[in-house]
């Protein structure tokens, strides 16, 4: 790939940038390529493909809020396309995004399973505690000692019931509190800007 072809391809890939930013970026790379004393293959290998360079520049300008679309109505769509193109242009971006998605889904499923198991265990302990309490007071036992034993077991199980339900509700409360903080920091703050 010649220097002229490289710059033409880079310019084509930077159409989402404003005219001044695109000219600045192209002048920088044109000056860099003209100052280099090696052949075209070494320069391309050193800089990367025009697609990779454009993706890097689009992400940098998007991070600095310097992407200025030509039409105000399409600014959100063009910004979204710029980010999508940057993700797909990076050779490692897509596998990382997939891995993060899988980790997030796994954490959510684990959290739901934990809450469900604490809730079910708590309900089972509560039911057993009530059953022991009923047997202790009905007098289905032969002696006072066994009635007292059943009463003690009933109180222990009812205490465990309360503990398990409290833990499940604490996990739910903290999860939603953390989620609401994240939403307010990322989504709401970005909409205010």
3-state class of 73 per DSSP?
helix
Those residues with Cβ within 8 angstroms of residue 93's Cβ, 6 or more apart along the chain or in another chain: 86, 87
pTM of the model: 0.43
- pLDDT tens, 69-109? 454 445 667 777 777 777 666 666 667 778 888 998 999 89
Amino acid 155: pLDDT: 93
Q: What is the largest CA-CA distance in the chain?
A: 102
| Confidence category of residue 67, pLDDT binned at 50, 70, 90 | very low
Place of tokens 């003209």: 34
| Phi–psi pair at 119, nearest 5 degrees | -65, -45
Cα atoms in the 13 Å half-sphere on the side-chain side of 160 = 18
């Amino acid at each position: 790939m010649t220097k002229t072809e490289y710059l033409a391809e880079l310019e084509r890939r930077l159409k989402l940038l404003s005219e001044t930013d695109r000219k600045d970026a192209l002048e920088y790379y044109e000056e860099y390529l003209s100052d280099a004393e090696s052949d075209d293959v070494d320069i391309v290998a050193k800089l990367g493909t025009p697609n990779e360079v454009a993706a890097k520049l689009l992400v940098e300008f998007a991070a600095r809020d310097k992407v200025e679309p030509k039409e105000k109505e399409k600014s959100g769509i063009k910004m979204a396309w710029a980010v999508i193109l940057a993700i797909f242009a990076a050779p490692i971006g897509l596998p990382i995004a997939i891995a993060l998605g899988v980790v997030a889904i796994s954490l959510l499923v684990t959290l739901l399973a934990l809450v469900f198991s604490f809730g079910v265990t708590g309900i089972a302990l509560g039911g057993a505690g009530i059953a022991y309490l009923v047997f202790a007071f009905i007098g289905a036992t032969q002696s006072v000692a066994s009635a007292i034993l059943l009463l003690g077991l009933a109180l222990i199980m009812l205490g465990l019931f309360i503990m398990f339900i409290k833990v499940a509700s604490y996990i739910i409360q903290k999860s939603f509190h953390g989620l609401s903080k994240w939403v307010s920091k990322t989504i709401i703050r970005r909409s205010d800007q």
